[in-house]
Chain A
Amino acid sequence: MTDIYDVLVVGAGHAGIHITSELAARGFDGRVGVIEAEVELPYERPPLTKGFLDGSVRADQLRFPGRFWDQSLFCSIMGEQVVAIDPERRIVTSSTAAMYGYRTLVWAAGGHARRLGIDSENAAGVHGLRSLAEAEYLKKQMHGSGRYMILGGGFIGLEAAAALRRAGVEVTVVEFADRLLARVTCPVVSDYFLQLHRREGVDVRLGSRAVRVETTDGVASGVVLQDGEVLAADGVLVAVGLAPNVGPLSDAGAICSNGVEVNEFGATSLPGVYAVGDCAFFPLAFPPFGRLRLESVQNAVDQAKNLAAALATGTFRPYRSLPWFWSNQYATKFKTVGVCQGYDQAIVRGDAARGSFAVVYLSGDRVVAVDAINSMRDYAGGRSLIGARVNVAAVADPAISLASLGGVSTSRTRAPGLAGA
């Protein structure tokens, strides 16, 4: 006889753990189960590339507090991965061949680090940076005499580069595109981060590609670039993005493209199967609209809470949280709100050379996103502008606060009497 769960959650990352906690907070009294491939108790990931590496956050401080993991509220199945879904019988099969039944399946399996597919990429000393185990490994390698090769100039690679430099490690970043962070921001911001890392002593190679890992006695000792240059290294971090974990969903017939497609309520094309977090390709409620997949804690947590509220109450509401994201590198605090896509104009506020500025992304006179670099004021002001129409001429003037440009405000600030309305 197969165990049947009213809600079966696949994955105990930020998305999965907020499904269970929100169900519990709302008094959901059905049977809830969580299947997680890792054996570690659930932990927070953002500090893995920040405070955990620099030593200001310890591993035990990363754990989600007990209320997120209260065994009286749900059943956890650790160290097992879902490998198949039978959508008609509503049964999943795990990597240990165990079978679990569900009434509602919530897929929160996130993703795995992409690989480059180059020779000797599986050698010892080559690793990614997604899990606590990988962060602990990297931390052990951080000492003043080492040389690290980071393949990929996105947020993970750059945050790791900053932490390694702070520990005195020599760092080279190899990025295939002609600028850093090319997928997520505009050239002005990319250039700011390029100058920042070069000032801190990072050897940044743009428009460059590793074609092979060099090994000595089976251990990585360097990489070979496409022009034949050989760069020696004591370790190689591959940080070239995330591939969504949706194989079993796709095999079961769920419509998948860039992740698994869900509607505004988080439902996949399979009955009773929902998806949240990094693997969900969802309709954005803000410009530029259309579907997208977001890899962020904010999105994972907010989608999970929205879906769990629906499962607990039976009332489904469209997901419409404002996307935001942050990254800390050296003393620089980067914050972005909205989605930096589909814009036709990027207006810089302030002076990038002075290290505190913002970029407002516009489609016509409508704000689609704001990047703020060491400028909390513009981040805070920008939050109220996403989707709003503004006087474009005033945007470039840093003396005029962004918060004042909104006109009819979409601001979250409401009169107390209207809270929750």
Chain B
Amino acid sequence: MTVATRAGVPGIIGECGGEMSCATCHVHIDTDHFPPPSLDETDLLEVVDERADNSRLSCQLELTEATGDLVIQVPQEA
């Protein structure tokens, strides 16, 4: 999320500053290289538009060297 907000990616607002509170950093990811979402994240994902099987809150995705290449899509802004 921080990478996206610093770069000004439209649709990634990060209103709560990455505290898993607002669901304004919703993305679709193409990789399973991240640890699975916590129960809280899964619950919060219920409020987003365009929920999909590969939906994640980007504030919960920590980039590491092991992450590798990935494609992240921002669902169309409501």
- Assess A419 versus B47: contact at CB under 8 Å? Given A44-B17, A326-B16, A376-B40: no
When C-beta atoms are compared, the residue in chain B nearest to A302 turns out to be: B15
CB of A148 within 8 A of chain B? no
Q: How far is the CA of A324 from the CA of B24 in the complex (A)?
A: 13
Q: Is the CB of A376 within 8 A of B44?
A: yes
Q: Which residues of A contact B7 (CB under 8 A)?
A: 65
Q: Which residues of A contact B68 (CB under 8 A)?
A: none
When C-beta atoms are compared, the residue in chain B nearest to A322 turns out to be: B47
- Assess A376 versus B16: contact at CB under 8 Å? Given A412-B49, A419-B78: no
Q: Which residues of A contact B53 (CB under 8 A)?
A: none
Expressed in whole angstroms, the minimum distance between the Cβ of A154 and any Cβ of chain B is 18
Expressed in whole angstroms, the minimum distance between the Cβ of A10 and any Cβ of chain B is 22
Q: Which residues of B contact A333 (CB under 8 A)?
A: 21
Q: Is the CB of A381 within 8 A of B46?
A: yes
CB of A377 within 8 A of chain B? yes
CB of B51 within 8 A of chain A? yes
Of B6, B21, B47, which one neighbours A412 at CB under 8 angstroms? Answer: B47
- Assess A376 versus B43: contact at CB under 8 Å? Given A65-B5, A419-B78: yes
CB of A208 within 8 A of chain B? no
CB of B65 within 8 A of chain A? no
Q: Which residues of A contact B43 (CB under 8 A)?
A: 376-377, 379-380
Q: Is the CB of B50 within 8 A of A47?
A: no
Q: Is the CB of A298 within 8 A of B22?
A: yes
CB of B35 within 8 A of chain A? no
Q: Which residues of B contact A57 (CB under 8 A)?
A: 17
Q: Is the CB of B17 within 8 A of A47?
A: yes
- Assess A403 versus B78: contact at CB under 8 Å? Given A47-B17, A324-B22: no
Of B10, B15, B45, B48, which one neighbours A301 at CB under 8 angstroms? Answer: B15
Q: Is the CB of A413 within 8 A of B15?
A: no
Q: Is the CB of B76 within 8 A of A416?
A: yes
When C-beta atoms are compared, the residue in chain A nearest to B23 turns out to be: A380
Interface class of chain B by DSSP: loop
- Assess A65 versus B77: contact at CB under 8 Å? Given A326-B16, A380-B44, A381-B46: no
Q: Which residues of B contact A420 (CB under 8 A)?
A: 76-78
Task: List A residues 42-56 near B (Cβ within 8 Å).
Answer: 44, 46-47, 50-51
Q: Using a Cβ–Cβ cut-off of 8 Å, how many residues does chain A contribute to the interface with B? A: 32
Q: Which residues of B contact A143 (CB under 8 A)?
A: none
Q: Is the CB of A413 within 8 A of B47?
A: yes
Q: Which residues of B contact A50 (CB under 8 A)?
A: 19
When C-beta atoms are compared, the residue in chain B nearest to A51 turns out to be: B17
CB of A384 within 8 A of chain B? yes
Q: Is the CB of B46 within 8 A of A328?
A: no
Q: Which residues of B contact A51 (CB under 8 A)?
A: 17
When C-beta atoms are compared, the residue in chain B nearest to A416 turns out to be: B50
Q: How far is the CA of A168 from the CA of B21 in the complex (A)?
A: 27
CB of A317 within 8 A of chain B? no
Q: Which residues of A contact B50 (CB under 8 A)?
A: 416, 419
When C-beta atoms are compared, the residue in chain B nearest to A337 turns out to be: B47
Which of B7, B46, B51 counts the most chain A CB atoms within 10 A?
B46
CB of A383 within 8 A of chain B? yes
User: Which positions in A face B, CB cutoff 8 Å?
Assistant: 25, 44, 46-47, 50-51, 57, 65, 67, 297-298, 301, 324, 326, 328, 333, 335, 376-377, 379-381, 383-384, 403, 411-414, 416, 419-420
Can you list the 3 inter-chain pairs with the closest CB atoms, starting with the nearest?
A376-B43, A376-B40, A67-B8
8 A-B residue pairs with CB within 8 Å: A46-B16, A301-B15, A326-B19, A376-B44, A379-B43, A380-B47, A381-B46, A411-B47
